[in-house]
Amino acid sequence: MGVGIQVTDLNAWYGANHALLGINMNIPANHVTALIGPSGCGKSTFVRCLNRMHETNATARVSGEVRIGDVDIYAEASPVEIRRRVGMVFQRPNPFPTMSIYDNVASGLRLNGFRNKGVLDEVVERSLQSSALWDEVKDDLHKKSGASLSGGQQQRLCIARALAVDPEVLLMDEPASALDPVSTAKIEDLIFQLKSQYTIVIVTHNMQQAARVAETTGFFLMGKLVEFDSTHKIFTNPTDKRTEDYITGRFG
Amino acid sequence: MAHRSNTSAANRIWRTIANHVATGLAVVSTILVVAPLVAIFVYLIYKGASSLNFAFFTQAPKPVGEAGGGMANSILGSAILLAVGSAIGVPIGIAGGIFLAEFGRGGRLANTIRFTADVLNGVPSIVMGIAVYSLIVLPQKHFSALSGGVALGIMMIPTITRTTEEMLLMVPHAIREAALGLGVPNWRSVLAITLKTASPGIITGCMLAFARVAGETAPLLFTAFGNQFWSANLNEPIAALPLQIFIYAISPYDEWHRLAWAGALVLIALIVVAVSLVRYVASRGILKGAN
């Protein structure tokens, strides 16, 4: 089951660059929350702060509080623990090129020391079914490399890999922006099915995509959260003038 | 319109010519690069193949004046020296490369190590032999296979370290993020994901270093020393193919000259076999279509 995320007064810096300014957000459990905004507005930085992925950049710093479920992720947990609970799917599909399809999906468990073959088989099948890839690859699990799949299949493989470690939250950073429309539609269907089990936060440049998949939408501009409301309200009757300008295509 | 089509016709001819010239230059360069290699190999076969026989691969050298004998003890000795050298050079070299690429990036220590490795790479091999002579041979008061292996191992380190670093840095950032995003600790991600992804290139680096030291004579002169008899003892002087070739080549005897040619042929052939074997074994562990 998914858990909610409470963000309180979150600030982030890359070196001297103040990338996020005082973000407050209450992300509901088992919902899809979309984050929209022009390039460089801080939405990717924001999701990376939710699983402490921004710390891979040595100059990154944050202040404020992020609670996932009942854990303050900066005060009460290590990045490794948090990332096991908060899965991430990236913009470009990034399967491990030296691993088979099976090994890619099993990698999260194996690299954390899990070895039971029977359970692994089960998890791999369940994860690939959840990511709607099972029927396409079930005969090639050990034969084919993850990198030999098409772009859309690779992205669903990456989703399966993220699901295999059984996270509560799934962060997706523009998961369909490198894919063709058919693959994009498959990913969107998938997001719709997955939200019953996971809390999903998706960053997207595509406003139609936000409107299609998300119940809640946040609009970021220059490091600030301008508006955060139900997707319907954001796209039909936004409160802030800047939100309206953005969604009607007057800038960005 | 007429003017434009004229220009494009002239352009097309010019492009065709340029294309042929460029292709021709590439072919000529390739031939220039490959020709010396082929020439050396053909000449070695021409000079050395006739002296190759069963005894060459099974017997130790005979004293001057006695016919026959072989270089079997030198082949064994080279194998032992290279095994010791690789056991030292490969792990230290790879560990150094991992440190430079993954943990010490941009730090003062990493810059020092990188600079030292580059300098070490340029140190003449005879100097390496003298260094190991004073470090191991003098205190022990005798030449030994161990000291020869150490000299070769130290010579392998800089090449392996720098290739490992370059190869690790070529692994896309997205792959590292994928591993970290699964909640894999950094050290484990480096060993199981980054290193594995870079392994074809790292293996190539190790093979380059191996092939380079396999033919080294100078660092063995004061360390392994050479041996006319069978020995597999790490604490005793040991024969080595390059040393034996050297001794035979500067001798005044025709029979020994012929054996030296045969030895050179065998040395090159064994290096080719060893490198191909490692590549074959390594490629079986890596899936098709991965790149």
Q: Rounded to two decimals, what is the model's pTM? A: 0.83
- Which CATH number goes with the domain that contains B173? 1.10.3720.10
Co-location of B45 and B133 in the same domain: no
Asked if the Cβ–Cβ distance from A51 to B181 is below 8 Å, we say: yes
Co-location of B190 and B225 in the same domain: yes
Per-residue pLDDT tens for A75-104? 998 999 999 999 999 999 999 998 999 999
For B177, the closest of A56, A84, A100 (CB atoms) is A56
Co-location of B131 and B271 in the same domain: yes
- Which has the closest alpha carbon to B59: B80, B78, B75? B75
Distance from CA of A46 to the nearest CA of B (A): 15
Asked if the Cβ–Cβ distance from A111 to B290 is below 8 Å, we say: no
Q: Determine the pLDDT at residue B106.
A: 78
Q: Does A145 touch chain B (CB under 8 A)?
A: yes
Co-location of B84 and B198 in the same domain: yes
Give contacts of B 269-288 with A, CB under 8 A: 286-288
For B290, the closest of A87, A108, A145 (CB atoms) is A145
Assess whether pLDDT exceeds 70 at residue B287. no
Co-location of B11 and B149 in the same domain: no
- Please tell me the CATH code under which domain A5-94+167-247 is placed: 3.40.50.300
Encoded tokens for A209: 């995509």
DSSP A185: H
With a pLDDT cut of 70, the percent of chain B lying above it is 95
Co-location of B74 and B44 in the same domain: no
Asked if the Cβ–Cβ distance from B197 to A83 is below 8 Å, we say: no
Q: Determine the pLDDT at residue B285.
A: 62
Q: Which residue of B has its CA nearest to A96?
A: B175
- Residues of chain B with Cβ-Cβ distance to A90 below 8 Å are 174, 177-178, 181
- Which has the closest alpha carbon to A126: A88, A164, A159, A99? A164
Query: How do the domains of chain A map onto residue ranges?
Result: 5-94+167-247
Distance CA B149, CA B78 (A): 9
- Residues of chain B with Cβ-Cβ distance to A77 below 8 Å are none
CB pairs under 8 A between A and B: 88
Q: Determine the pLDDT at residue B3.
A: 55
Distance CA B143, CA B220 (A): 10
Co-location of B224 and B89 in the same domain: yes
Co-location of B160 and B87 in the same domain: yes
Encoded tokens for B6: 């004229």
Distance CA A113, CA B283 (A): 26
Give contacts of B 117-176 with A, CB under 8 A: 172, 174-176
Co-location of B26 and B70 in the same domain: no
- Which has the closest alpha carbon to B236: B128, B148, B117, B123? B148
Which three-class secondary structure state does DSSP give residue A202?
Answer: strand
Q: Does A243 touch chain B (CB under 8 A)?
A: no
Average pLDDT over residues A235-244: 93
- For residue B43, what are the domain limits? 2-51
More confident residue, B244 or B290: B244
Per-residue pLDDT tens for A148-181? 999 999 999 999 999 999 999 999 999 998 888 9
**ipTM at complex level:** 0.88
Q: For chain B, how many structural domains are there in total?
A: 2
Co-location of B66 and B194 in the same domain: yes
Co-location of B117 and B36 in the same domain: no
For A97, the closest of B181, B183, B197 (CB atoms) is B197
Distance CA B188, CA A80 (A): 11
Asked if the Cβ–Cβ distance from B196 to A98 is below 8 Å, we say: yes
Asked if the Cβ–Cβ distance from A87 to B286 is below 8 Å, we say: no
Per-residue pLDDT tens for B157-201? 999 999 999 999 999 999 999 999 999 999 999 999 999 999 989
Asked if the Cβ–Cβ distance from B182 to A111 is below 8 Å, we say: yes
Asked if the Cβ–Cβ distance from B289 to A53 is below 8 Å, we say: no
CA-to-CA dists, residue A4 to A15, A62, A168, angstroms: 30, 20, 9
